[in-house]
Structure 1
């Protein structure tokens, strides 16, 4: 059996128990349905989801997909749309399968949703986030957080310390994206200070700020963000300067704000728009790095000469690797990251996922950052 092979089969009953789940059927089509309740197997954990965040990827799938959600059987899960949504989540352990000895019912946890085969070259190299057959719990099958119950591999479950709430537990996933991007950029260790530019002040951009600050308090962090509300949050989370790309020449201003006027050492593109990428490239100094964190709706245009003539590096980030979740949880527990202010709205119940969650984010995207859904009342 491959490390993440999973069977969410039901028991032998001819009339299986049913549960509620929010299922994605296609563009603009989310439905609250009754589906069979999964049963735990060996090396698996059954959870009752608590708080679940709506990710930008979820919005992209709803507005224009399916893109990442499989329309033919996924090579690992063997599932295709409709699939249960929700990959940013916390929950409470309900039951553990044979071979799981380090978790017990009642434990408070969060979920690292990467699905990987464990056998390809990337996985053998420890790069499970780059698995050649990869997918995500809550997008590619194996259930999702917008449900009454879910069953996932033990390796996907991380226990939360007592001083980390279930609400914050649902933020560990986007925080881990920022944490991993900082690691990939291979910044110099403290006390060396660098100038970093972040394009976009949404959930991932705010996660980038917090991860940079947790790694070093000395960095100059410049954020490009047009939304006044998100700009305020960027400043509150530790951005040194927040600029509006609508009124500011970003490359020229970044150069003025950097030592010697040479530009940023690194730019993290968390926006995924052409104008932002162009600004990022021109804002970075010679031998600087542009780190792509965003998922693009359309392929971008890259001016290779702008990279070559200044020996700049353009690199991608694929979510997070093993170890990143544990590091973020530890940083939150120690108070190095305090992300509660990212939560803009809380919605009670699976019935509110569409109107209170997705539609609110679409209609109020400039005002809302992270919307959390309470999938189940677990007593916290």
Structure 2
């Protein structure tokens, strides 16, 4: 079967590899769609971070490895002892593996496991292949009303859902989302689902501003020509933003976020930074601000996203593009240049 395998920076190859078969407790999935995300770009353009070059301590996997951790598909076979799903079931997959033994796992936070691994990066197989095999505990069944295309968006939207759940903004709070790529859009959708109306989106890319505006965002700011602080003051009555989500992962986003926080405001970082930033913690003192972070998700958040899709809150229209597997590296370049919001690969 064909698969996209990561060998190193700027070295992703379409190769023929053996078709996997499910083992005990596993299901085999014919992949329908796989989304590309910011972490894929980081690995491709910058350096392997989540992809191990030596055997991963939990899974034993290492590069070259099949990419793709945001995917949906149809079950085509089940292994011994797997009884939750059957052939023909349509699923989205939570791609994370955890050890169950580290301090994070022991307190019920496997999403920050010390040995966290990802299907499609640091485990055997991935969504950028014709077929893949996962433990059936990682799959979530899609309702009939949720398409396989939308199913491939469950994973990134669950990232955003987890960040919003952790920050827990109130219904009357003013909230700022910096960056309207896929995660920024996901955060905006999750805020809308919670009934939060005073949301300001800051995004320098005209194409991405248009995409989130098409979805219904009313307060969309171009930080290169508009003053974010002035708009936040207008919306909040001079109080500032109770929560800022940094979904951009660049130093300017971090600085802009801090500058508009209300007293006791929260800056939630939900993006991967390719390089560090200069930061003086004294900037936090006068407002007793909190900087916190969010990583991946839980099965609960997968279920929340799917439920929101079923009731029509989330969808793929207006912010996604679909390509073929042969266009993969071109898609990386488009995303890197900000010329696309979310690209899904049709397998």
TM-score by length of 1: 0.88
Please give the residue correspondences for 1:1-380 in structure 2 after superposition, counting only pairs within 5 Å. Answer: 19-188=1-170, 192-216=171-195, 218-259=196-237, 261-343=238-320, 345-348=321-324, 350-355=325-330, 357-362=331-336, 365-375=337-347
* Structure 1 runs (4+) greater than 6 angstroms displaced: none
Cα 1:112/1:52, change in 2 over 3 Å: same
Contact 1:25 1:83 in 2 (8 A): yes
Contact 1:199 1:271 in 2 (8 A): yes
Secondary structure, counterpart of 2:17 in structure 1: strand
Report the count of equivalent residues: 347
Distance in 1 of aligned mates of 2:311 and 2:76: 28
Q: Deviations over 1:66-89 (max 9, x none)?
A: 222101110111011111011111
Contact 1:270 1:293 in 2 (8 A): yes
Distance in 2 of aligned mates of 1:49 and 1:358: 20
TM-score by length of 2: 0.96
Secondary structure, counterpart of 1:219 in structure 2: coil
Distance in 2 of aligned mates of 1:373 and 1:322: 24
Contact 2:36 2:70 in 1 (8 A): yes
Secondary structure, counterpart of 1:41 in structure 2: coil
1:150 Cα deviation from its structure 2 partner: 0.8
Q: Deviations over 1:190-248 (max 9, x none)?
A: xx3211001101111011110000011x4211011011121122223333311111112
- CA root-mean-square deviation: 1.4
Secondary structure, counterpart of 1:323 in structure 2: helix
1:331 Cα deviation from its structure 2 partner: 0.6
Q: Deviations over 1:269-302 (max 9, x none)?
A: 0011111111101101001100000111112333
Distance in 1 of aligned mates of 2:296 and 2:32: 22
Identify unmatched segments of 5+ residues in structure 1. Answer: 1-18, 376-380
